[in-house]
Structure 1
Amino acid sequence: MPKNIENKIKVYFKDNKVLSRDQLICELRKDFPSWSSNTINTYLYKLKKKDIINNITRGVYTLENERVFGPKTDSRLKKIATKIHKNYPFINYCVWNTSWLNDFMLHQPFKQFTVIEVEKSAVEQVFVNLSYDFKNVYLNPDSLFFERYISTMEDAIIIKNLHSESPTMKLNNIVVPMLEKILVDMLIDEDLFSAQQGELDYIFKSAYKKYTINESKMKRYASRRNRETELEKRINIVLAK
């Protein structure tokens, strides 16, 4: 195996926590254009055997020293993401489910929500489009509406504005929020994250224990949402325990 391939691999992951198999192959072809598909597959296998790269899920890789948050994406999320991408291929968005936070909590919430975040210019169109195929779809509900209706509903779909430069990643061909984004959002959206508010310290501590957290990325996003000071205090409290 060429000596410089390991250095190349580290460069590929410099700005990305995870890369799909197709992304890795694309980068390798740029640096090693003479390699055949079989050669690339052989080297990917060897890199996995040496623990240079690891699978966090099928067809998705990370570096050996990264513990990346890679939640399961169910068929409903895949259907929603496929529909958004098909109808609006150039917009920024991400999809996820609040049940992803259950692994970080002591007490398991009875309710869960599917969350779709879409750039502001397209959020109305996506809301109308998805309302044809799914029930209980709500666009940017306010606190009163959330408390009266959504909080008692089974698996409502909530569509929100996606803030610029939100940390996201592609997982199984679906754009999802990074854990860093979700942690910051919990400090802001007390309606959506009402079930988590009493366990914020525990959730942050669990997240740091289980996964590699990119604090600089998280702080940049928190700064854009005017929560950098609050995030800093939360990190200090959690890490001091």
Structure 2
Amino acid sequence: MSNKTTTSILEYAEVHRDFSMDDLFAYLHEKVGISKSSLSWYLFKLVNENALVRTGRGMYAKVMKQPFVPKLIGEVREIYDSLLVNFPFAKFCVYQGDIIAPLQHHLSSNRVVYVETDRDSAETVFNFLKDGNRDVYLRPDKDMIYRYVDMDSRVFFVKNLVSEAPLQKVSDVPMPTLEKLLVDILRDADFFYLQGSESEHIFENAFNLYAVNRNRLFRYAGRRKAKEEILSILENLNIK
């Protein structure tokens, strides 16, 4: 993207806290001679980069909320480094359950380390982690967790990584974006304790506290068949 055009858009957004594409176009067309199609592309990119947020049809605002950046603990770093050495061609997403805590209404302990990887690699990764004398579970469901898992202890869940899941690098470790986490909480069996009314509180806290990329959220939700459910949650919470 042109630095001059991007800077001009962000400067306009700084002064006009909530603005329409038409007003922005009138301002920029005179200043840099931009076309409407080019402006649409710039706005699309800036929304995807969490620099701007859509506030309505053809309406935008500068993002004032903080991005969601999960905390990286040493154990997750060590596990990922070990996996990277032993499975250099597999894809991973590794994080600890504590990162969900800021989103929760009723705080529940979760010290699980989640290791998500390609479907074809999951069982091999599970066996590798188990050989290291770790307490590991492969794709655990609600019944397995009820019977055998202490979520307050350091256990490991190995799960399938959905293709094209939105990830972010935290000190080079692939971890979930907020949008991925929100969808997974609705869809994954091991997050059963966060589903129902608690998931609504989680969405409310997520949108109140952090910058949420709606395009990324709905794209991933579409892959997991959760888009309609999320739209319903946002409507119930009156989140525009």
Q: TM-score with structure 2 length normalisation?
A: 0.70
1:174 alignment counterpart? 173
1:30 alignment counterpart? none
- Equivalent pair of 2:68/2:210 in contact (CA under 8 Å): yes
- Is 2:212 aligned against 1:213? yes
1:202 alignment counterpart? 201
Taking a change above 3 Å as real, the CA distance of residues 185 and 222 of structure 1, as seen in their structure-2 partners, is same
Shift of residue 5, structure 1, vs aligned partner:
10
Provide the secondary structure at the position in 2 that maps to 1:239: coil
Structure number with bigger Rg = 2
1:143 alignment counterpart? 142
Once the two structures are superposed, residues 197-241 of structure 1 have per-residue CA deviations (whole angstroms, 9 ceiling, x without a partner) of: 442111111111111111111111111111111111112222359
- Equivalent pair of 1:109/1:195 in contact (CA under 8 Å): no
Provide the secondary structure at the position in 2 that maps to 1:192: helix
- Is 2:153 aligned against 1:154? yes
Shift of residue 144, structure 1, vs aligned partner:
2.0
Once the two structures are superposed, residues 50-74 of structure 1 have per-residue CA deviations (whole angstroms, 9 ceiling, x without a partner) of: xx9xxxxxxxxxx985631112100
Taking a change above 3 Å as real, the CA distance of residues 106 and 143 of structure 1, as seen in their structure-2 partners, is closer
> Structure 2: 5+ residue runs without aligned partners?
11-41, 52-61
Runs of 4+ in 1 over 3 A off after TM superposition: 3-7, 13-18, 63-66, 195-198
- Equivalent pair of 2:119/2:160 in contact (CA under 8 Å): yes
Taking a change above 3 Å as real, the CA distance of residues 15 and 117 of structure 1, as seen in their structure-2 partners, is farther
- Equivalent pair of 1:205/1:239 in contact (CA under 8 Å): no
- Is 2:191 aligned against 1:192? yes
Taking a change above 3 Å as real, the CA distance of residues 141 and 182 of structure 1, as seen in their structure-2 partners, is same
- Equivalent pair of 2:135/2:156 in contact (CA under 8 Å): yes
Taking a change above 3 Å as real, the CA distance of residues 133 and 103 of structure 1, as seen in their structure-2 partners, is same
Corresponding residue pairs, total: 194
Q: Given residue 79 of structure 1, which amino acid in structure 2 is its aligned partner?
A: E
User: In terms of mean alpha carbon deviation, does 122-131 or 178-187 score higher?
Assistant: 122-131
Taking a change above 3 Å as real, the CA distance of residues 142 and 196 of structure 1, as seen in their structure-2 partners, is closer
Once the two structures are superposed, residues 121-142 of structure 1 have per-residue CA deviations (whole angstroms, 9 ceiling, x without a partner) of: 2112211222222511111123
Once the two structures are superposed, residues 20-75 of structure 1 have per-residue CA deviations (whole angstroms, 9 ceiling, x without a partner) of: xxxxxxxxxxxxxxxxxxxxxxxxxxxxxxxx9xxxxxxxxxx9856311121000
The 1-side partners of 2:159 and 2:82 are apart by: 17
Q: Given residue 161 of structure 1, which amino acid in structure 2 is its aligned partner?
A: N
Shift of residue 112, structure 1, vs aligned partner:
2.8
Shift of residue 14, structure 1, vs aligned partner:
5.4
The 2-side partners of 1:165 and 1:15 are apart by: 19
> Structure 1: 5+ residue runs without aligned partners?
19-51, 53-62
What is the aligned-residue identity percentage? 28
- Equivalent pair of 1:186/1:197 in contact (CA under 8 Å): no
2:92 alignment counterpart? 93
The 2-side partners of 1:64 and 1:215 are apart by: 12
2:14 alignment counterpart? none
Q: Given residue 120 of structure 2, which amino acid in structure 1 is its aligned partner?
A: S
